Amino acid sequence: MLGAIAGDIIGSVYEHNNIKTTDFPLFQDACIFTDDSVQTIALADSIIRGTNFQEKLKEYYRLYRDAGYGFSFIQWAEAKESTPYHSWGNSSAMRVSPVGFAYNSLEEVLLEARKSAEITHDHIDGIKGAQATASAVFMARTGKSKGEIKSYIESEFEYDLSQNIDKIRETYELDVSCQGTVPQSITAFLESSDYEDSIRKAISIGGDSDTIACITGGIAHAFYKDIPDSIVDKVYKVLDGPLRQVTTLFCNKYDCF
């Protein structure tokens, strides 16, 4: 989870200023947390407290209205009676990493990932993106190899993970769909050598940089276990007090520091 938040913050300055290289400063003064982090922490808070995902997402939206949500999510969050809006967008995948850390079987992870997605993203691709990301986090956390993770994602979700990052980088452009971001995010993790390298590779392809790095970062954190202290320290300086508190509670409870 912390790895997902770090990816969002690091990628925040590149979403509208794409770069096509892994050689860039990890943090700049302009780095911020976006709705990716807010929604991720909202789901974490929901899991800790045993409340439903919808309530927490709406609560956090009210607390952090300027975090950069999409128009459809804003309409959903402000409506009294919220119904899913059939989205196939990547928000369902970028917020789901806490599910992969919190539950103890792949069956539970798939079920809870579906629940977390379908309150807004009830399109089959929105659900698939959340389930693929959460299952990759769970498999990484529980000791599966990169080869096992790759094979499972390809067979279960029919994502094409055959193209390497260098090839993706050549032609990749902004795409906010799960279909157009989750496979690329997983590939960045699969080709990485450590947590930091995964984030650099994720951002280097361009596109929706903060979300791609958020998805990649959650999986990489689960797999490598360790995030450099310099990155953790910066993340905690960017988050405000309430977001830091929930992040710490979740990471302590589910041993994801």
Q: Quick one: pLDDT at residue 82?
A: 86
Over range 159-184, report the average pLDDT.
97
Q: Quick one: pLDDT at residue 256?
A: 77
CA distance 221 to 158: 24
pLDDT at residue 224 greater than cutoff 90:
yes
Q: Which CATH number fits domain 2-253: 3.40.50.720, 1.20.900.10, 2.40.10.120, 1.10.4080.10?
A: 1.10.4080.10
Q: How many CB atoms lie within 10 A of CB 229?
A: 8
pLDDT in tens, 1-46: 999 999 999 999 999 999 999 999 999 999 999 999 999 999 999 9
Show the tokens assigned to 62.
Answer: 């009210």
Task: With H, G, I as helix, E, B as strand and everything else as coil, classify residue 93.
Answer: helix
Q: How many CB atoms lie within 10 A of CB 25?
A: 8
Indicate the pLDDT class of residue 257, thresholds 50, 70 and 90: low
Show the tokens assigned to 31.
Answer: 């780095």
pTM here is: 0.97
CB-based contact 138:165 (threshold 8 Å):
no
Indicate the pLDDT class of residue 138, thresholds 50, 70 and 90: very high
119 HSE (CA, 13 A, CB side): 22
Q: Quick one: pLDDT at residue 81?
A: 85
Query: For the chain, what percent of residues have pLDDT higher than 90?
Result: 96
Find the helix packing angle between 195-204 and 2-11, rounded to 10°: 40
CA distance 129 to 218: 14
Over range 164-186, report the average pLDDT.
97
pLDDT in tens, 53-106: 999 999 999 999 999 999 999 999 999 888 999 999 999 999 999 999 999 999
Find the helix packing angle between 209-224 and 182-190, rounded to 10°: 40
SS (H, E, C) 237-251: HHCCHHHHHHHHHHH
Where are the alpha helices (H) located in 95-204, listed in sequence order?
A: 97-102, 106-118, 124-141, 146-157, 165-171, 182-190, 195-204
Give 23: exposed, middle or buried? Use CB within 10 Å, 0-12, 13-18, 19+. exposed
